[in-house]
Amino acid sequence: MIEEGRGYDVESVREDFPILTRRVADDRPLVYLDSANTSQKPQAVVDAMSEHLLRHNANVARAVHQLGAEATQAFEDARADVARFIGASRPEEVIFTKNASEALNLVARVVGEPSDYSVGRGDEVVVTEMEHHSNLVPWQMLCRRVGTRLRWFGLTEEGRLDTAVGDIINELTKVVSLTYVSNALGTVNPVERIARRAHEVGALVVVDASQAVPQMPVNVSTLGADLVAFTGHKMCGPTGIGVLWGRYDLLAELPPFLGGGEMIETVTMQGSTYAPPPHRFEAGTPPIAEAVGLGAAVRYLERLGMENVAAHERRITAYALEALQQVPGLKIMGPSEMVDRGGAVSFTLDGVHPHDVAQVLDSLGIAVRAGHHCAKPVHQRFGIQASARMSPYLYTTTGEIDSLVKGLDHVQAFFGTSGGAR
């Protein structure tokens, strides 16, 4: 369903993103359709970071001087901004990491350590066949380390979770970790339902929200998850910063991840005790300017309104699905209807390898991704090696989708495959 929403004016939003005025490929306008890979950055984010670095820079939490206090305040304000943005019940539930991958590795690492939540031999960890490698490999590593069995939900032909298999989540399950929105298929998963089932058997629920938080309203307090990971650079923020949200009482029980400065309570040569969350999980000097940038990014998104961002994403994606399905020889991998679906659309084109599709599109100034998008098992499931992926964001226009479709005609003409003469 296409909702118009109160909406915003895309053209004026585009003015916030200087990069979108760039001309590339022999003076053609840039058509950036790779936002699921990383989003572009609004001026406000870059300004906040440079203002911080040029006027308030100092290390956090360890300097008594004024700049130290300003930097600490800015860092903790960013934490509070992020906490408000995702509906966390308190800022201490927000742990800053390097990216989503580190957040997920943090979880998969600490649940292997002794605690009430520890995962060991004879237990089971459940993931899905549509995970990004970042939410698959850390669990495989955990399972190898502690002798736990890894199980997963398979996928239907349409690219939805196949939850018909009854006993994947069972009494042995200790962790269920799944993506909220698939970066390869675009599928939005029924997180609440799966979390309910997982909690019935006492399992922890971890959600990879890397593709969800950027494009739709996410409230971690009502989602049903115990831990949620996402990454700053896909939501208008800078690279080098990610977030792990966790229920406070759970975080307070979990053992630390990396050891070092700032994560301790007291240290003697015999041993140490650890700081309470979030600092327990933030060893060493954190990405301070990056946190400030992420804080500015969530304020930017709040100004647009996440309902509006989501409505725009739905409108553009519906338009793209419709237009792409008119291209002869094009097959969409994942849901082809705008139901429980995010913005990324992966596809193959008969007779032309995705790399070649992306290369020729690039020569027209159109940026898409080609490959397996760090989700190789998904591609294996559908019997293909690679796909091309277009992913819009809050600044994408229907005109850009038209350019993509025209570009695909050009690709087919170039390689002498069907459809070029249309």
Ligand X SMILES: Cc1ncc(COP(=O)(O)O)c(C=O)c1O
Q: Which residues bind ligand X (CB under 6 A)?
A: 99-101, 132, 134-135, 179, 183, 208, 210-211, 231, 242, 374
Stretch that binds another protein, among 54-62, 170-178, 189-197, 351-359 (CB under 8 A): 351-359
Residues with Cβ within 8 Å of 226's Cβ and at least 6 positions away in sequence, in order, are: 204, 205, 206, 246, 247, 250
Interface with another protein, residue 354, by CB under 8 A: yes
Out of another protein, ligand X, none, which partner does residue 376 contact, by CB within 5 to 8 A per kind?
another protein
- Within 13 Å and on the Cβ side, how many CA atoms surround 388? 27
Out of ligand X, another protein, none, which partner does residue 108 contact, by CB within 5 to 8 A per kind?
none
Q: How far is the CB of 73 from ligand X (least distance, A)?
A: 26
Out of ligand X, another protein, none, which partner does residue 149 contact, by CB within 5 to 8 A per kind?
none
Which of 372, 404, 407, 408 contacts another protein by CB under 8 A? 372
H/E element, 138: helix 137-146
- Say if residues 349 and 417 touch (Cβ distance below 8 Å): yes
Interatomic CA distance for residues 74 and 60, integer angstroms: 9
In the bound state with ligand X, the residue whose beta carbon lies nearer, of 72 and 210, is 210
In the bound state with ligand X, the residue whose beta carbon lies nearer, of 128 and 348, is 128
In the bound state with another protein, the residue whose beta carbon lies nearer, of 287 and 407, is 407
Interface with another protein, residue 359, by CB under 8 A: yes
- The tokens for 9 are 């004016």
Using DSSP, state whether 406 is helix, strand or coil: helix
278: cis peptide before it, omega within 30°? yes
The residue whose two tokens read 């909702």 is: 3
Which of 90, 303, 385, 422 contacts another protein by CB under 8 A? 385
From the number of C-beta atoms within 10 Å of its C-beta (0-12, 13-18, 19+), residue 122 rates as: exposed
CA distances from 5 to 14, 81, 312, 343, 375 (A): 19, 25, 8, 17, 33
- Binders of another protein among 5-44, rule CB under 8 A? 25
Q: How far is the CB of 122 from ligand X (least distance, A)?
A: 29
Which of 160, 280, 379, 389 contacts another protein by CB under 8 A? 379
SS3 string of 158-169? CCCECCCCCCCC
Interatomic CA distance for residues 378 and 38, integer angstroms: 20
Known catalytic residue at 143 = no
In the bound state with ligand X, the residue whose beta carbon lies nearer, of 71 and 85, is 85
Out of another protein, ligand X, none, which partner does residue 140 contact, by CB within 5 to 8 A per kind?
none
Q: Which residues are catalytic?
A: 374
Interacting residues with another protein (CB under 8 A)? 25, 352-356, 359-360, 363, 370-372, 376, 379, 385-386, 414-415
